[in-house]
Chain A
Amino acid sequence: MTVLASIDLQTLGDAFGLGAIYALMAVGIGLVFGVLRLVNFAYGQLIMAGAYTLAYTSGWPVAASVVSCFAVVVALSLAMDRLVFRPLRGSSPAVMLVTTFAVAFLLQAVALIIDLRDGQLGEVASSIAPLNQAVSVGGVDVRKVTFVAVGVAVGALIALALVLARTTIGLHTRAAATDFRTARLLGVRANRVIAFAVVVSGLLAGAVAVLLTVQNPFVQPDFALEDTIVVLVGVVVGGIDRLWTATLGGFAIGFVSVLVNAALPTDKTVFLPSVVYALVIVVLLLRPAGLFAWGRRATMERV
């Protein structure tokens, strides 16, 4: 029972905070995958671009800084779709994935050049750092940003669920995610649906950029790279074929890694990645279609 004893409310708060941020990223990746069948490895670089925008606009009023962050990320997201995703439509998954690697490296290399103009690696995005202060809830210190992260995640997910369920564009997006060709035959405009998915995924990346810079104001070219990789893993583990299973997968991997980290003895925490990825392998072997993909036949046979 020592494992449970080491998980206190503090840890639980952190776990929810990280899980919420990863859930937002999972939605951003899952939406684009739904309509384009493309795993966007360069998603982390959208977040990185947002974080740099926040850093370079640190002197501005907070609202202006946040708005410009969203503007840059959404513009970049649309440009990525127009210049890269659109020509690649219908290519094999391996080609699409490797092209997004190249795009990710490209954006990272550009960021490095811009960053190094002042001769120092890294910029500081400090304007919203006060959110990082802790508030005391029932004797437990919880950082304000944890509440903001959970709040933003829940709000964004409810809003997105409503849009997908109640509006025409939402209906079209769901139709396109189920069967793109048939949806097109029935009059769904492909480019509009894709643009919708790309813009929403960009907005989510902007939100994640804000939340992540609060926790870690030091922005470098590889900002959010590791998080993106972890979320991609979580999305596939959860079940990438459906948006909500992908989202749960993203949440779960963030949540579980914080808990495993707390449960491991201090001198063994360096092996955290091994433990988490061993769990990933076990889950994938038991449920290759996704941990949360209940009631569907495993997609293994489809290859």
Chain B
Amino acid sequence: MSFRLPLAAVIELLGPVLLVVLVGLVSTTASASNEVYFLNALVSVAIVVAIYVFVGISGVISFGQISFVAIGAFAAGVMTVPVASKKGVLTSIFPLLRDHSVSNVESLLLAAALGGLFAFLVGLPLMRLSGLAAGIATFAVLEITHNILQEWTKIGPGATTLALVPETTGALQATLGALVAIVVAFFYQRSRRGRLLRASREDPAVARSVGVNIHLERLVAFTLSGALAGFAGALYVHLLGSITTEQVYLELTFLTLAMLVVGGLTSLWGAVVGALAVSGLDSFLSRAESGVHVIFTLNLWQGTRLVFLSAIMALVLILRPSGLTGGREFRLPRRLLRGRG
């Protein structure tokens, strides 16, 4: 793999990177009650970019990526609760898990490794599927993961809330986490493997005829996406401080997929813009719902946040089916580049 980057590629990467850094900087100036919205948006970026690595580049729909977020979140959560308080909150857990804890950074790495491992094992058989069959099979993975996390109390809190997780995802960790996801996704999609997978998305028959092993390329992307999703899950649990299995299940699956499609399914820039735009809109509406002055005073009727959010998402998709970015990577407007040759 060569790391020689042409100017256009540097700009492609700088667009999302600067946008995320900007959000991170703004979050440090926000009040404590507002900061969480910005951090949430940054963690959403990490999750949506993880989904993009598989769904966007391969063109195969998956409803299963949130199961890797869930695994990452619970692995990182369970392993960072201080040993002293674990006996009290996680009563029936395996002794090995009960008697050990790891640091914040270790938990992020552990979550990425577990997410990647799990995605690899699941992807091995499942990556032979495409279209709706792939969508439903990955959805089945989500259901099974959720069911086991919720009922098997030897590996986690079961249906109760996992609390006392150190809240280490501040502005710095959220920004760096989102940046890691973006940079990994960027170099993967520019790599030889990423391009082969993209070719298989555009025309599977032709890609296969020139020797692309679609099953293998999809498996690589699925595993990488699983690792990033696990990592994002760890960021998420360290942001929330407590988590239940319901928070990493259906609603998050639909919301993050909607973010990706609203931004533009086929580009990294679309994943970042979609995540920030939808979480920004959601935060704005929930502030407005509680009648707080946001730019101008807007007093929304209680409960109307979801109505507006879903109506606006539906409207964007109907008016602009290729998403806010049109599925293109970030580029400077042409007149800025004129004369550069």
Residues on A lying within 8 angstroms of B by beta carbon are 39, 84, 87-88, 91-95, 97-99, 101-103, 105-106, 108-110, 112-113, 116, 229, 232-233, 236-237, 240, 270-271, 273-274, 277-278, 280-281, 284-285, 288-289, 299-303
For A277, list chain B residues within 8 Å (CB). Answer: 140-141, 143-144, 147
- Evaluate whether A281 and B258 lie within 8 angstroms (CB atoms) in the complex, with A99-B318, A113-B303 already known: no
For A280, list chain B residues within 8 Å (CB). Answer: 136-137, 140
By DSSP majority rule, is chain A's interface helix, strand, loop, or mixed?
helix
For B125, list chain A residues within 8 Å (CB). Answer: 281, 285
For A289, list chain B residues within 8 Å (CB). Answer: 133
- Evaluate whether A98 and B257 lie within 8 angstroms (CB atoms) in the complex, with A278-B140, A303-B204 already known: yes
A102 near B147 (CB under 8 angstroms)?
no
B304 near A284 (CB under 8 angstroms)?
no
The verdict on B310 contacting chain A, using a C-beta distance below 8 Å, is yes
For A98, list chain B residues within 8 Å (CB). Answer: 254, 257-258, 261, 317
B144 near A300 (CB under 8 angstroms)?
no
Which of B136-151 touch A at CB < 8 Å?
Answer: 136-137, 139-141, 143-144, 146-148, 151
A300 near B128 (CB under 8 angstroms)?
yes
Q: Mark B305-323, 1 if CB is under 8 A from A, else 0.
A: 1110111011001110110
A109 near B303 (CB under 8 angstroms)?
yes
Closest Cβ of chain B to A232, distance in Å, is: 7
A284 near B143 (CB under 8 angstroms)?
no
Write the chain A residue with the least CB distance to B312: A102
The verdict on B66 contacting chain A, using a C-beta distance below 8 Å, is no
Closest Cβ of chain B to A225, distance in Å, is: 9
Assembled-state Cα–Cα distance A180/B328 (Å): 30
- Evaluate whether A281 and B141 lie within 8 angstroms (CB atoms) in the complex, with A98-B261, A236-B132 already known: yes
- Evaluate whether A284 and B317 lie within 8 angstroms (CB atoms) in the complex, with A94-B265, A103-B310, A110-B307 already known: no
Residues on B lying within 8 angstroms of A by beta carbon are 55, 61, 125-126, 128-133, 135-137, 139-141, 143-144, 146-148, 151, 204-205, 250, 254, 257-258, 261, 265, 301, 303-307, 309-311, 313-314, 317-319, 321-322
A284 near B133 (CB under 8 angstroms)?
yes
A281 near B126 (CB under 8 angstroms)?
yes
Q: List 14 A-B contacts (CB under 8 A).
A: A39-B132, A84-B318, A95-B261, A98-B261, A99-B317, A108-B306, A273-B147, A278-B140, A280-B137, A284-B136, A284-B140, A300-B128, A300-B133, A303-B131
- Evaluate whether A300 and B306 lie within 8 angstroms (CB atoms) in the complex, with A91-B321, A94-B61, A95-B321 already known: no
Contact partner of B132 (CB less than 8 A), chosen from A109, A240, A278, is A240
For A105, list chain B residues within 8 Å (CB). Answer: 254, 306, 309-310
For A270, list chain B residues within 8 Å (CB). Answer: 147, 151
Closest Cβ of chain A to B53, distance in Å, is: 16
Write the chain B residue with the least CB distance to A233: B136
